[in-house]
Structure 1
């Protein structure tokens, strides 16, 4: 069934049906009159039978065109993907020492910077974008703003540090979103918000992610505030990093990042190369930058109906017939 905004316009189909019935009646009456008063042998000579194969095509096309135009008047509705005018996205990027691993060329942090800047470039203009980095503590580098160039400039200046306080990064993002929502008139009128968390390792501060400032607790808080956290686990299981001359294994930790996403109502992604990370950001851009809206879809019906009516008129003229 077609979803129509004003279905009462379909009553015009009765007029189209009446037109079709009138045409059939006139054709039968004309044929009966010809049979009654005409010399059939002479009639077959003047009007060759093969012409009759196409004589009804123009009226058929016109009737179909009128049906399509009537449906267009009734306002068919359809879902459309349109750019978001308003939304808030906070990028939360891990800058712990493990991000210096070169298992992802040229390094995890450099690949993360490239992908994050492309994400900022592609993101819909009306979306407020912010940036938070975290290692042992969290730092708000850019408060949410539609000026995406500010985020790109800050991404270039990310500096690595010790430890990994994932929960602090999420809490900081939540506070930034709540602050912006208050400025915009409160949570009821606030635009949708989302946190995009990129990390490569397990939280080290605090030791327990269920601690009051832990990552799992922060994820639950995000769920409570209706702010999904999409997590990206970036790196490989064979990653290592040089710390004071020692080669330290820094395998990626998918399990904790997936749990953060699940607890917050977000989605979990993995990437082990720059290309994979870029594709993840492209997917997020499609999800965040666009929304589905129900709206008018009459244009295709108008175009198709108009084309058929024009073809019908040309056909009728070409066959030296008057339009009914």
Structure 2
């Protein structure tokens, strides 16, 4: 993974011009010294009275010193790296479609079983301090678990999801907003800004009853709650009802779910297998449960500069019995 580094005080980099000036001055002085040596016409006498030239070694301490100064300038520019930090406070409502179309077996062993498994994986991805609630919806929306940090309780409720007739996505959004209002409030929440909340709505069909999707989306937009939608299933899904022996197609209405996400500043995802659904949940968990913070790493460069200064001093004393 690439380490992304930014600088909180990049204006300090102008000090590198001073380091460059020192480097240029050093080169000029060395050139003058070489020119003076060439002007000494009696080379045999010069070799007999001058000590043996240290050659390239005399430049090493100076070069290390310049690198150390450059490292100090970088430290003054306050380098920082991005770190993914778990959110301390947030509320996520997991709304899962339990309409009869979820019995389709185009996603083995069937859509609902695969959805349950992926949802339970999602619960393990989120940081433990985030409140998670569960809403099941078919012809109506029902708060099965109000927002809580008790993952075992939510997991058990996911396992108990059962199928029923009709699909009411608009009602599911209203029920999820009601669940968000039931989130526990701590002293920190009361004194600070509003705790972020988000709805993750997974469905495989289109609304057949209840308030329209657009009405629910507008309510979420007014409440400032993004709705991430997941269109789950394939276009080959069919179900067989007891009263209708002929297979009934149950296509996924991706466009309707995309409109909900767009209207609420959320994101729309699609998943045709349990593995894809797990990956979608993983991406959502990263965006909901974590935030990016900058951690300053200037001490790294200060430490490097100190090591280089000690090295430069040691080499100069060892080779020339003087400090650089």
TM-score range, shorter chain: 0.7 to 0.9
CA distance in 2, matches of 1:116, 1:78: 32
1:41 maps onto 2:39 in alignment: no
Deviates more, 1:229-238 or 1:182-191: 182-191
3-state DSSP class of the match of 2:109?
Answer: coil
Match of 1:202 in 2: 206
Match of 1:286 in 2: 286
Deviation at 1:178, TM superposition (A): 2.9
Would the alpha carbon gap of residues 183 and 126 (structure 1) be closer, same or farther in structure 2, given more than 3 Å must change?
closer
1:171 maps onto 2:174 in alignment: yes
Deviation at 1:203, TM superposition (A): 0.8
1:237 to 230, 235, 238: 235
For structure 1, list consecutive stretches of 5 or more residues without a partner in the other structure.
207-212
Query: So what's the TM-score if we normalise by structure 1?
Result: 0.83
1:83 maps onto 2:86 in alignment: yes
Deviates more, 1:19-28 or 1:237-246: 19-28
1:4 maps onto 2:8 in alignment: yes
Deviation at 1:58, TM superposition (A): 2.0
Deviation at 1:188, TM superposition (A): 6.7
Deviation at 1:194, TM superposition (A): 0.9
Deviation at 1:107, TM superposition (A): 0.8
| Mapping 1:223-262, distance limit 5 Å | 223-244=221-242, 245-262=245-262
3-state DSSP class of the match of 1:180?
Answer: coil
Deviates more, 1:291-300 or 1:56-65: 291-300
Match of 2:193 in 1: 189
RMSD: 3.4
Deviates more, 1:237-246 or 1:93-102: 237-246
| Mapping 1:94-173, distance limit 5 Å | 94-173=97-176
Deviation at 1:69, TM superposition (A): 2.3
Match of 2:218 in 1: 220
Match of 2:61 in 1: 58
3-state DSSP class of the match of 2:136?
Answer: strand
CA distance in 2, matches of 1:310, 1:115: 56
Contact 1:97 1:161 in 2 (8 A): yes
3-state DSSP class of the match of 2:181?
Answer: helix
Contact 1:165 1:203 in 2 (8 A): yes
Would the alpha carbon gap of residues 122 and 303 (structure 1) be closer, same or farther in structure 2, given more than 3 Å must change?
farther
Deviation at 1:179, TM superposition (A): 3.5
Deviation at 1:132, TM superposition (A): 0.7
Deviation at 1:98, TM superposition (A): 0.7
3-state DSSP class of the match of 2:200?
Answer: strand
Contact 2:138 2:165 in 1 (8 A): yes
Query: So what's the TM-score if we normalise by structure 2?
Result: 0.83
Contact 2:148 2:183 in 1 (8 A): no
Deviates more, 1:70-79 or 1:27-36: 27-36
CA distance in 1, matches of 2:186, 2:121: 28
Deviation at 1:320, TM superposition (A): 4.7
1:222-275 CA-to-partner distances (Å, cap 9, x unmatched) read 111111100000001110112104421111111111111111111111000011
CA distance in 1, matches of 2:28, 2:135: 76
Contact 1:7 1:75 in 2 (8 A): no
Contact 2:147 2:184 in 1 (8 A): no
3-state DSSP class of the match of 1:269?
Answer: strand
Deviation at 1:311, TM superposition (A): 4.2
Aligned residue-pair number = 314
Contact 2:271 2:280 in 1 (8 A): yes
1:105-130 CA-to-partner distances (Å, cap 9, x unmatched) read 11101111111111100111221111
CA distance in 1, matches of 2:103, 2:145: 23
For structure 2, list consecutive stretches of 5 or more residues without a partner in the other structure.
none
CA distance in 2, matches of 1:115, 1:307: 50
Match of 1:209 in 2: none
